[in-house]
Structure 1
Amino acid sequence: MRHTLPIAPQFYVTAPQPCPYLAGRMERKLFTALQGEGAERLNDTLSKQGFRRSQNVLYRPSCADCSACMSARIRVADFAPSKSQKRTRRRNAHLTRKATSPWATEDQYELFRRYLDSRHADGGMADMDVFEFAAMIEETPIRTRVVEYSDAETDDLAAVCLTDVLDDGVSLVYSFYDPDRARDSLGTYIILDHIEIAREAGLPFVYLGYWVPGSRKMGYKAKFRGLELYVGNRWEKMRNPADYSSELHPLNTDPIAEQVANISLPGARPAKG
């Protein structure tokens, strides 16, 4: 009988391009394809090592002389809402949640366009058309849900979050909301509700993407209690945000070959660190 050995994922690095978080810097990403029968296990394993999913690709920052971007997650058991977050929950108590399969709709795209035009008109997704939007929502080889939040009285769509279900938590892949409801803090509310989703499912973590010291657009993540950051190949409880630096240093980032060698794959022993 012939046995086929599993094929290890291949890792690549993108060409440098302007950083979307810190002005005047260049970013590059380490990435691998997410496909085949082992896609879910690979996604679960690499998500615990600071990777994020975009359609059928897993990536994490690998900038030449900057390590400011740190993967962030909330440990659900350690979370307690602040007074401001309690007010946000009360302010949005009229919203209803509906989780569906990853299928794009016209209502979602209309809300997505309004959100981009209002908040990210010059961002990398500003030119995304309806077909690219559908691909972002629907091209997923793993367990993914579209979580919609609608006004209980008007049934108007207020917010949407593309959410992956991992073996140890939920991961917020991308969210957008009604820009006319800025005072409702819908971005914060989506995270608060996903903490409840994880708690209801018995999952210990909510993955938020990256936190970047020095980036105003990422500052809101530091306001959640129970936050952990992936630093030096391990998760640590977030210290005072001021303790983390976004300064450039040529020794901040390990060589690519060393980064890849330290990645733990499904079924392998954990990486050092």
Structure 2
Amino acid sequence: MTSPINPSQLSFFITPPHDCPYLIEQKSQTIFLSPEIHADTLLYTALINQGFRRSGEHIYRPQCNNCQACISVRIPVDHYSYSRSEKRILKKAGKFNISVEPAKFDQKHYLLFDQYISARHRDGDMFPTSPQQFKEFLLSDWLETNHLNFIDIQTGKLSACCVFDTVNDGLSAVYTYFDVSLESYSLGKLAILKLIERAKQLKLPYVYLGYWIKECSKMSYKGKYRPLECFVKNRWVEIS
């Protein structure tokens, strides 16, 4: 159930314009929930329904004057049917033991995260990594945050992890990192498909994917799921 909290009654602050991390030659601004406000699941459910996200303990939303490229998106799982390519991805999932556990810091998760960032995002602000950065980016003290783990059956090694939050009306994908040598298993997509399965099992209506940025190759994949709901002009609109 969506929280009755009205976000307009809360206190926020906005950053000065800064270089956009997604679009070249663009300036971006971000609004953050005031750190004086104690966040909880009820409040975050209200805010995620208004296009907000969390990074660690911080709740934010892009607020750019001349650009609306960042669109918050979610999958309505009750209406979701897997495409042929997604069914093929699910079939290959037999290579892994898939389980859920409370999110916490440990060496195996951090090492896989570090390897993934080093291989895929050396040009981003998360490189180089550190254990403190891992904790501050992915973990939370006031939400139910879990690891969706993919363990290679043959080797026993952690092959992928999807960090996700549980809110009152869905599951929110925070970040997925994986062994890039297993690219043929489409582990990023597989993680989302398994979140859809889990949301259905828990009778939660949505999987929140964060921001879809069509013009950014690293974020454009989120627009390929159908049906998909987009938060546009302060309301959710479904595209199919």
Quote how far apart the aligned CAs of 1:198 are. 0.3
Is 1:91–2:92 an aligned residue pair? yes
**Which position in structure 1 is the counterpart of 2:211?**
210
After superposing the two structures, state which structure 1 stretch, 9-18 or 221-230, moved more: 9-18
Render the CA deviation track for 1:37-76: whole Å, top value 9, x for unaligned: 6521110100011000111111111012101110010000
After superposing the two structures, state which structure 1 stretch, 129-138 or 56-65, moved more: 129-138
Render the CA deviation track for 1:3-58: whole Å, top value 9, x for unaligned: xxxxx632011122221221111111111046776521110100011000111111
Render the CA deviation track for 1:206-227: whole Å, top value 9, x for unaligned: 0000011222222211221111
After superposing the two structures, state which structure 1 stretch, 194-203 or 144-153, moved more: 144-153
In the alignment, structure 2 segments of 5+ residues that lack a partner are: 1-8
Residue 30 of structure 1 aligns to a residue whose secondary structure is strand
5 Å-filtered alignment, 1:124-273, equals: 124-238=125-239
**Which position in structure 2 is the counterpart of 1:13?**
14
TM-score, normalising length from structure 1?
A: 0.81
Quote how far apart the aligned CAs of 1:95 are. 1.3
Tell me the distance in 2 between the aligned counterparts of 1:38 and 1:160: 25
Quote how far apart the aligned CAs of 1:233 are. 0.2
5 Å-filtered alignment, 1:83-122, equals: 83-122=84-123
Tell me the distance in 2 between the aligned counterparts of 1:40 and 1:33: 16
Render the CA deviation track for 1:216-272: whole Å, top value 9, x for unaligned: 222211221111100000000126xxxxxxxxxxxxxxxxxxxxxxxxxxxxxxxxx
**Contact 2:214 / 2:223 at 8 angstroms: preserved in 1?**
no
**Contact 1:103 / 1:137 at 8 angstroms: preserved in 2?**
no
**Which position in structure 2 is the counterpart of 1:60?**
61
**Which position in structure 1 is the counterpart of 2:4?**
none
**Which position in structure 2 is the counterpart of 1:269?**
none
Residue 107 of structure 1 aligns to a residue whose secondary structure is helix
Tell me the distance in 2 between the aligned counterparts of 1:205 and 1:127: 33
Residue 180 of structure 1 aligns to a residue whose secondary structure is helix
Count of matched residue pairs: 232
The one-letter code of the counterpart of 2:227 is G
Tell me the distance in 2 between the aligned counterparts of 1:30 and 1:136: 17
Residue 177 of structure 2 aligns to a residue whose secondary structure is strand
The one-letter code of the counterpart of 1:180 is S
Residue 45 of structure 1 aligns to a residue whose secondary structure is helix
The one-letter code of the counterpart of 1:45 is A
Q: Higher strand proportion, which one?
A: 2
RMSD of the TM alignment (CA)?
Answer: 1.6
Tell me the distance in 2 between the aligned counterparts of 1:60 and 1:228: 17
Tell me the distance in 1 between the aligned counterparts of 2:149 and 2:211: 23
Greater C-alpha radius of gyration: 1
Percent same amino acid among aligned pairs?
Answer: 35
The one-letter code of the counterpart of 1:117 is S
Tell me the distance in 1 between the aligned counterparts of 2:114 and 2:74: 28
**Which position in structure 1 is the counterpart of 2:5?**
none
Quote how far apart the aligned CAs of 1:132 are. 1.8
**Contact 2:164 / 2:175 at 8 angstroms: preserved in 1?**
yes
Distance 1:216 1:137, change over 3 A: closer
Residue 93 of structure 1 aligns to a residue whose secondary structure is helix
Tell me the distance in 1 between the aligned counterparts of 2:207 and 2:228: 9
